[in-house]
Amino acid sequence: MARLPRTFLVFGGFVGLVGLALYPIYFRPLMHLEDYRKEQAANRAGIIQEDVQPPGLKVWSDPFGRK
């Protein structure tokens, strides 16, 4: 019976580490959309999409502008 709590601790620790790794990658951007919109607007301020887009491909659109 002593191995059961240790097994839960090992698997729980693994799940916790995966959750900690996913938070800044996936969950934080979803919870702070406005911050990321402002940052991307500042980063793309001087870029003209038609000049950097390869010919024949669709011009980039805002991923936050979901329908």
Tallying the residues shown for the chain, one arrives at: 67
What per-residue confidence (pLDDT) applies to 54? 78
pLDDT in tens, the chain (67 residues): 568 899 999 999 999 999 999 999 998 988 999 998 999 889 889 888 777 777 877 777 777 776 5
Token pair listed for 20: 């900690």
User: pTM for the whole thing?
Assistant: 0.49
Token pair listed for 55: 């010919």
